Each structure stands twice: as structure tokens, then as C-alpha cells.
């Protein structure tokens, strides 16, 4: 018997209320005398928009999304990566002053090693001091690390404080900034503490990439390559033809129209592809995720080699290894195997690393992934380019052989 279908409540404010959406379609069923079942669905809507030069005074996009729904003068809490503050702090402050948004800024020094609960708590203390009002969004500006930390702080503060994400790295633009996951590392376990906390909106400004390190760009291209291999062959072709140009031009299209069109197409395909993959499985109820390609053994590899390998570099090693496994299992042709390996190198990403010689590391990485994926490894293995299948029976010895083959193919010291 359904006891009490929820009446739709009228919204008292234009500001979206996360709690409202969580209970809007809920109901309680009474099973018998002393047992009830509550069922509720949570609807998620958020916008991801490509916007150029968000701190340009003539561009009101950022100001409108930051103050959305408020007619009075807005106060906002902005948490940002210290390097972004150094590079863009002046124009950012001038921008918010111009649009009369009174901001308090918390500039955090972030790194994979500082991606911890201590950093989350620094934001929490600052939010307390600021006195953030319920429903007012936190504005988070930075790379994947800052966004993951700030997103977790937002999800914990008063159980859910809205946040607006402004990614500033390529990893952030195409991956960390546009999904719903937040997280910090704990005791060598990557993103072990985290939450699913959808942003209120995401503003993607590729002009930030103009100041990003070349190595950091390669790092982001690894996530784009991952998506291309699992689901988007035309994107793979684009990377193959123009990968070096994208790197050289930092996706700014400096050499005129061709570069610009390519950069935009690559970004648009990567963002659409990632959002498409996420939307069908936002809460990861299915643990067979295409986008986990490259993320099977890389979480442990990244943590064990800190600070040597960047996230995308560990992902590249993982992709290379599983492409070899796929070839050994006759799931991908030699031609396509070689195309993938060549492209990884072309994008200035690593193919091999000494840590892959250690069978105990490979065993531990597989075991941790299997635990993380509820008892089955569910390893995405490429089937040619543009699709994958999932397998559960890859052993550490198979990976060890694959790593040896990779070294031989690449002409590295075997």
C-alpha cells in the first residue's frame, strides 16, 4: 500500500534546492504492521557550457551563473588553486568587483599528495568563518585536484552545499570538472574518500590551457585518448592526425582556423562523449564502465609512484598494457595495437615504467580493482578502436608478459 505520495511543493526561491529534487518523486510503502519501504528518485540537471575568457569584463556569463536566482547583492565563497590565483587572481578579482559580487577567496596549494581530508577541512573552516548561506553556491576554480577536494567539501558542508565548477586543466575540462564525483586520497588509496555531488553548473574555458604546462596537456590528452579508444573512432582519428598540433598550440588554435576547429571539435567530442557515458550510469550502479579503461591498475601505480607520474601518465601505462593484453587475446589487430601505442607516444605519454616489472604490484593492483568493483575485475579491454568488452580473468602473470612485450616493442631495455 502506498501511504503518502508526495505533494509537489511550490518553490519559494528560484535557486534549485537539491533536497527538494531528492524527495520530489518519493513515496513510502507500508509492507505490513511494522515495516515500511521508502522509495525516492533524485533528478539531476546541470549545465556544462563552453565559454571563452570567463574573466573578460565584457563577458557576463560567469557573473550570471554565480549570482543566479538572487536579486540582492551576492556574497560568494571562491576556492581556487593557488597557481590559478597567481596567474589569474588579478583579473578574477577585477571581474567580480566589476559585477559587484563580494567574494571571499581561499587560495589553496594543491597537489596529489595534498589531496587529503586535511585540505577538505581547510575549506570547511573557511566556510564557517565566511558564514555561507544555505543554497548559495561555492565557486571552485582549478584543476582536477582542487575540484575533487572542493567538491567533497561542498558535499559534506550542511550535507550538500551547491557548487559551481570552473576547471582550468585539460583533465578538468574533459573529465574531473564535468562529472559528479568528488574525492580525496587516503592511505595510498586513490579517491578512497569521496561522494557523488553534482555541480550546479560547469563553465569550461579552454583559454586557461594557454598557461598550462605541456606535460599537463599530455596528461589531459590521455583522458581524451581513453574516450576515443572506448567509444569514438573519429576522435581517435583526429588525435592521430592533429595530436601534436593540439599540444603545440595548447588547444588555442593559434595557427588559424584549422587548429581552432580541431581544438574545438576535440573538446566538444570529448565533453559530449564523457557526459554521454556518465549520464546513463551517474551513480555507478553498473560497475562495467567504459570510462574505466585506463583506470584498472593505474590508481595503485599512480599512488605508488607519487609524485613521479601524473594521473594521465598512469592512465597511459594502463591503456598500453591492456591493449597488449587485448592483442594477446586476439581482440585487437596488430595494426590497431600499433596505432594506439604510436599515438600514446605521439602525445608524449609513457608506455613503460619499472613498476610494471613487479609482479606483486600487478597482483595488488588487480586485487584492489576487483574489490573496488564488487568482487569481479570487470576490466575494459579494447575491441579494435571505438569499442570495448569486459573481462574478469586477467592474471598478474598475463600483465607481466604484456609489460615485457611492451618493452620489447618499444625498444626499451627488456
Ligand X SMILES: NC(=O)c1ccc[n+]([C@@H]2O[C@H](COP(=O)([O-])OP(=O)(O)OC[C@H]3O[C@@H](n4cnc5c(N)ncnc54)[C@H](O)[C@@H]3O)[C@@H](O)[C@H]2O)c1
Euclidean distance between CA atoms 240 and 369, whole angstroms: 30
**Residue 330: count of CB within 10 angstroms of its CB:** 7
Smaller CB separation from ligand X, 162 or 339: 162
Count CA atoms within 13 Å of residue 179 on its CB side. 25
Euclidean distance between CA atoms 214 and 167, whole angstroms: 17
Q: Shortest approach of ligand X to residue 220 CB, angstroms?
A: 6
Q: Does 207 bind ligand X (CB under 6 A)?
A: no
Euclidean distance between CA atoms 329 and 322, whole angstroms: 10
Between helix 311-328 and helix 214-231 the angle, nearest 10°, is: 30
Q: Does 169 bind ligand X (CB under 6 A)?
A: yes
Q: Does 198 bind ligand X (CB under 6 A)?
A: no
Q: Which stretch binds ligand X (CB under 6 A): 42-50, 154-162, 174-182, 341-349?
A: 174-182
Query: Any idea what DSSP says for residue 2?
Result: B
Question: Given candidates 197, 269, 311, 339, which one binds ligand X under the rule CB under 6 A?
Answer: 311
Residues 100-129 binding ligand X (CB under 6 A) are: 110, 112, 115
Q: Which stretch binds ligand X (CB under 6 A): 67-75, 126-134, 172-180, 348-356?
A: 172-180
Q: How far apart are the first and last CA of the chain?
A: 68
Q: Shortest approach of ligand X to residue 44 CB, angstroms?
A: 15
Letters for 277-306 (x = contact with ligand X by CB under 6 A, - = none) are ------------------------------
Question: Given candidates 212, 235, 355, 402, which one binds ligand X under the rule CB under 6 A?
Answer: 212
C-alpha cell at 337: 595495437
Q: Which stretch binds ligand X (CB under 6 A): 61-69, 100-108, 168-176, 346-354?
A: 168-176
11 catalytic residue (yes or no): no
Q: Does 143 bind ligand X (CB under 6 A)?
A: yes
Q: Does 74 bind ligand X (CB under 6 A)?
A: no
Q: Shortest approach of ligand X to residue 54 CB, angstroms?
A: 12
Q: Which stretch binds ligand X (CB under 6 A): 78-86, 237-245, 317-325, 329-337?
A: 78-86
Q: Does 81 bind ligand X (CB under 6 A)?
A: yes
Euclidean distance between CA atoms 221 and 216, whole angstroms: 9
Q: Does 216 bind ligand X (CB under 6 A)?
A: yes
Euclidean distance between CA atoms 412 and 414, whole angstroms: 6
104-107, Cβ contacts within 8 angstroms, sequence gap of 24 or more = 104/75, 104/76, 104/77, 104/78, 104/130, 105/78, 105/79, 105/80, 106/77, 106/78, 106/79, 106/80, 107/80, 107/81, 107/82
Q: Is 56 exposed, middle or buried (CB count within 10 Å of its CB: 0-12, 13-18, 19+)?
A: middle
Euclidean distance between CA atoms 76 and 104, whole angstroms: 6
Q: Does 382 bind ligand X (CB under 6 A)?
A: no
Catalytic residue among 11, 115, 181, 404: 181
Q: Which stretch binds ligand X (CB under 6 A): 14-22, 72-80, 136-144, 250-258?
A: 136-144
Residues 352-381 binding ligand X (CB under 6 A) are: none
Handedness of CA 274, 183, 46, 59 (dihedral sign): negative
Query: Is the peptide bond preceding residue 347 cis, with omega within 30 degrees of 0?
Result: no
> Binders of ligand X: how many residues, by CB under 6 A?
28
Question: Given candidates 63, 84, 127, 379, which one binds ligand X under the rule CB under 6 A?
Answer: 84
Applying CB under 6 A, the residues found at the interface with ligand X are 81, 83-84, 87, 110, 112, 115, 142-146, 148, 168-169, 171-172, 175-176, 179, 181, 191, 208, 211-212, 216, 219, 311
Which positions are catalytic? 181
Amino acid at each position: 500500500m502506498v501511504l503518502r505520495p508526495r505533494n509537489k511543493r511550490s518553490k519559494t526561491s528560484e535557486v534549485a534546492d537539491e533536497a527538494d529534487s531528492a524527495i520530489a518523486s518519493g513515496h513510502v510503502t507500508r509492507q505490513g504492521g511494522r515495516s515500511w519501504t521508502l522509495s525516492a528518485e533524485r533528478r539531476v540537471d546541470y549545465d556544462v557550457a563552453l565559454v571563452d575568457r570567463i574573466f573578460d569584463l565584457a563577458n557576463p556569463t560567469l557573473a550570471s551563473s554565480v549570482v543566479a536566482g538572487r536579486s540582492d547583492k551576492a556574497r560568494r565563497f571562491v576556492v581556487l588553486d593557488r597557481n590559478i590565483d597567481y596567474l589569474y587572481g588579478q583579473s578574477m578579482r577585477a571581474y567580480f568587483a566589476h559585477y559587484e559580487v563580494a567574494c571571499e577567496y581561499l587560495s589553496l596549494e594543491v597537489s596529489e599528495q595534498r589531496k587529503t581530508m586535511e585540505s577538505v577541512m581547510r575549506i570547511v573552516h573557511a566556510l564557517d568563518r565566511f558564514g555561507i548561506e544555505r543554497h548559495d553556491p561555492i565557486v571552485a576554480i582549478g584543476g582536477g585536484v582542487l575540484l575533487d577536494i572542493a567538491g567533497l567539501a561542498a558535499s559534506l558542508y550542511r550535507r550538500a552545499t551547491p557548487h559551481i565548477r570552473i576547471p582550468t586543466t585539460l583533465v578538468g575540462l574533459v573529465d574531473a570538472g564535468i562529472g559528479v564525483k568528488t574525492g580525496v586520497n587516503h592511505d595510498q588509496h586513490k579517491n578512497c574518500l569521496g561522494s557523488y555531488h553534482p555541480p550546479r553548473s560547469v563553465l569550461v574555458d579552454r583559454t586557461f590551457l594557454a598557461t598550462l604546462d605541456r606535460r599537463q596537456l599530455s596528461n589531459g590528452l590521455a583522458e581524451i585518448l581513453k574516450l576515443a579508444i572506448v567509444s569514438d573512432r573519429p576522435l581517435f582519428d583526429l588525435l592521430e592526425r592533429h595530436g601534436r598540433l593540439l599540444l603545440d598550440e595548447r588547444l588555442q588554435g593559434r595557427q588559424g582556423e584549422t587548429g581552432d576547429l580541431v581544438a574545438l571539435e576535440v573538446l566538444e567530442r570529448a565533453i559530449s562523449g564523457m557526459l554521454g557515458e556518465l549520464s546513463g550510469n551517474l551513480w555507478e550502479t553498473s560497475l562495467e564502465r567504459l570510462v574505466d579503461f585506463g583506470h584498472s591498475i593505474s590508481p595503485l601505480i599512480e599512488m605508488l609512484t607519487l609524485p613521479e607520474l601524473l594521473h594521465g601518465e598512469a592512465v597511459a601505462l594502463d591503456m598500453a598494457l591492456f591493449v597488449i593484453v587485448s592483442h594477446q587475446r586476439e581482440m585487437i589487430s596488430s595494426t590497431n595495437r600499433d596505432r594506439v601505442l604510436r599515438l600514446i607516444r605521439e602525445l608524449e605519454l609513457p608506455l613503460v615504467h619499472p613498476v610494471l616489472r613487479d609482479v606483486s604490484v600487478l597482483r595488488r593492483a588487480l586485487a584492489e580493482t576487483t574489490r573496488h568493483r564488487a568482487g569481479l575485475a570487470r576490466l575494459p579491454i579494447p575491441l579494435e578502436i571505438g569499442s570495448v568488452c569486459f573481462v574478469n580473468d586477467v592474471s598478474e602473470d598475463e600483465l607481466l608478459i604484456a609489460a615485457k612485450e611492451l618493452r620489447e616493442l618499444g625498444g626499451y631495455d627488456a
